[in-house]
Chain A
Amino acid sequence: RKEVEQDPGPFNVPEGATVAFNCTYSNSASQSFFWYRQDCRKEPKLLMSVYSSGNEDGRFTAQLNRASQYISLLIRDSKLSDSATYLCATSYDKVIFGPGTSLSVIP
């Protein structure tokens, strides 16, 4: 079993839709959590950190459930420019990434 797992995807959604990504992690020692976005043939870039109380950045909302070892990302009013692969990551000393979920937003 991988240390960090995500929905396999791909997700194909129309513009304006709300889409949710789920991620589970197995190492209870994980201290910090992140969502990264990766465009085709580019490096991953930080989308947002995930805090225990949940946090929001514009159309993006991240949630953390430590008891269930579960992280989520919600994208509201999706745009064409949101099309990318979304990777969750956990950190204790090293940083481990999930396999990513591909999102295509369709006109």
Chain B
Amino acid sequence: DAGVIQSPRHEVTEMGQEVTLRCKPISGHNSLFWYRQTMMRGLELLIYFNNNVPIDDSGMPEDRFSAKMPNASFSTLKIQPSEPRDSAVYFCASRPTGPGNTIYFGEGSWLTVV
């Protein structure tokens, strides 16, 4: 079975540019999570969706960040405009609905903003 698929795997962009990260969750998984990982702050939950609906976006750092899930098989995380402090690994993860279920991560999108 295909796992969580993220793209791009690596991106280097200039400050001020728009960045769009994409995620395809595992088929049949109803919950989708976006995390950001840095050495300083660890693995932070940015936002999560249940059945394509954003449930909690309290982890989104500021208005420059936005996330959408137009259907069950696709989600985007957008940063506009990007700043050097946004440099991090962004992970998408999915699971079947329910707190007892395991979440599965994609391989991550490594973002560098220069």
Contact = CB atoms under 8 A, between A and B. Distances in A.
B71 to A, nearest CB: 21
Q: How large is the interface on B (under 10, 10 to 19, 20 to 34, 35 or more residues)?
A: 20 to 34
B60 interface: no
B91 A43 contact: yes
B106 A98 contact: no
Interface string A56-98: 0000000000000000000000000000000100011111111
Nearest to A2: B42
A32 B100 contact: yes
Contact of A94 (B42, B56, B108): B56
B42 A31 contact: no
B42 A34 contact: no
Contacts of A46: 102, 104
Interface of B: 33, 35, 42-43, 45, 48, 50, 55-56, 91, 93, 95, 99-108
